Amino acid sequence: MIVDDRVLCEDFVPSEVVHRHDEVNLLSEALEPLLSGGRPEPAFLFGPTGVGKTCIARYTLDRLGEQLPSARVAYLNCWQEYTRFRVLYGLLEAIDRSFDVHRSTPKDELFGRLRAADDAPLVAILDEVDQLEETAALYDLHRLPHVSPVLIANREEELFASFDDRVRSRLRAGVRVQFDRYGTDELVAILDERARQGLEPGAVDEEGLRTIAEAAAGDARVAIGILRSAARRAQTRGREELSGELLAEAIPDARTAIRRKTVESLLDHQRVLYDLVDEAGEIAPGELYERYEAYVDEPKTRRTLRNYLTKMVHYDLIEAVGEKRGRTYRIVDGERE
C-alpha cells in the first residue's frame, strides 16, 4: 500500500509544485537581487493554514540554492522560537556559528557573530511570525545587510498590528504574496501527485481523492493527513485500495489527530484547564477559575490562567466568546463551517 511515507508527511517538500506557480514566481523574483549580490526587500507570505505557504517558501529556496550555492537558509518556526534570543540563536545555528553559545551569552554577542558572518547571504524564513513575541528580533534582522527575511503569517493586518512603530516602518516596503484556499480540483491534483509517489499504483481512484478533497475544505494539510491516515489503516488491514469505508473512518481521525497532539504538548495545569472546559462544554471565567482552584493542589494565579487560556485560544483548542465581563470559554467544535 504505502511505498514512500515521507511523501505523505505534511512537511514534505515536493520536487515539483502543483498549482502555485504564480506564488513561486513572485517569491523568486523578490529574492532575485541575491543572484547579483544585491539585497532583496523583505518578502511576506500571507494566507490561511494549509495553503502551501511554508511548502512554497522551502521549495523556492531549494531552487535558489541550486542557482546560488553559497546562499544559506535558516528556517525558524516562531511557535517555538518566539524570543529574540532564540531567533538569533537559530540563525547562528543555520550557519554553524552557534558553538559556545549559551543563555548567559549576551545578545549583542549573538548579533555580532551574525554581523561578522557576512561572507554569504542568509535567507531567514520566519514561519508563523505572528507568534513572535519580541519583534525586536525583526529589527535585528533588518540591521543585518546580508540577511533577507521571508516572513510567513496568516493575515497582514494582524501581523502589522503586533509590530512596534520602528519595525512597522522598516517592513512597510517588501513584497507580499497572498495565498488563497485551494479549490477541490486543485486539492485533487495535489493528492493525486502524492498518491502517485507515495502509494502503490491504483491504490486510490479519482472519486476517493475527490471525497478527501471535499472533506478537507481547501486545506492541503488536512487533505494529506486524511490520505495518510487512510493509507495506514489500509496497510494494517492488508487492503490493496482505499475504500469509501476507510476514507470515512480517516476523515474525522485526521481532524482530531492534530488536536490530540496539541493537547499532549500542554503543561499539566494547562491540560486541567482544557479538560475542565471540555467537561463543561461552555463555561464562564469565574466558574472556571473556581473549579480549577478546587481541582489542583497548588493552583497558579488567575493571571497565569488567563495566559494559559489565551495560549490555548491561539492553538485553536478553545474558543473565547464575547469579551470582558460577558466572556465564556468553550471547546472548539471539530466541524468547520
Partner DNA sequence: ATTCCACCGGAATAGCGGGATA
Partner DNA sequence: TATCCCGCTATTCCGGTGGAAT
Which residue stretch of 26-34, 65-73, 104-112, 202-210 sits at the interface with DNA (rule: CB under 7 A)?
104-112
Does the protein bind DNA through residue 285 (CB under 7 A)?
Answer: yes
Which listed residue (69, 202, 238, 326) binds DNA by CB under 7 A?
326
Positive/negative CA dihedral, 201, 204, 207, 210? negative
Which listed residue (15, 36, 96, 103) binds DNA by CB under 7 A?
103
Cβ pair 55, 17 in contact under 8 A: yes
Residues 164-203 that bind DNA (CB under 7 A): none
Does the protein bind DNA through residue 327 (CB under 7 A)?
Answer: yes
Nearer to DNA among residue 119 and residue 157 (C-beta): 157
> Strand ranges (DSSP E) for 95-160?
122-127, 147-153
Tell me how far apart the alpha carbons of residues 138 and 43 are, in angstroms, rounded to a whole number.
13
Residues 244-283 that bind DNA (CB under 7 A): 267, 269
Q: State the DSSP H helix or E strand holding residue 193, giving kind and residue range, or none if neither.
A: helix 184-198
Minimal CA–CA distance to 14: which of 68, 66, 60, 48? 60
Does the protein bind DNA through residue 325 (CB under 7 A)?
Answer: yes
Which listed residue (324, 334, 335, 337) binds DNA by CB under 7 A?
324
Does the protein bind DNA through residue 157 (CB under 7 A)?
Answer: no
Which listed residue (12, 75, 85, 315) binds DNA by CB under 7 A?
85
Does the protein bind DNA through residue 336 (CB under 7 A)?
Answer: no
Tell me how far apart the alpha carbons of residues 241 and 247 are, in angstroms, rounded to a whole number.
10
Tell me how far apart the alpha carbons of residues 253 and 229 are, in angstroms, rounded to a whole number.
7
**Cell numbers found for residue 201:** 499504483
Does the protein bind DNA through residue 310 (CB under 7 A)?
Answer: yes
Interface mask (CB under 7 A) for DNA, residues 3-42, using x and -? ----------------------------------------
Which listed residue (59, 163, 289, 292) binds DNA by CB under 7 A?
289
Cβ pair 83, 134 in contact under 8 A: yes
Q: State the DSSP H helix or E strand holding residue 227, giving kind and residue range, or none if neither.
A: helix 220-236
Tell me how far apart the alpha carbons of residues 300 and 292 are, in angstroms, rounded to a whole number.
9
List beta partners, residue 330: 282, 319
Which listed residue (286, 295, 314, 321) binds DNA by CB under 7 A?
286
Which residue stretch of 140-148, 182-190, 192-200, 318-326 sits at the interface with DNA (rule: CB under 7 A)?
318-326
**Amino acid identity of 4?**
D
Q: Shortest distance, CB of residue 333 to DNA, whole angstroms?
A: 20
Minimal CA–CA distance to 92: which of 170, 81, 36? 81
Q: Which residues bind DNA (CB under 7 A)?
A: 83, 85-86, 100, 102-107, 267, 269, 284-287, 289, 300-301, 303-304, 306-307, 309-310, 320, 322-327, 329
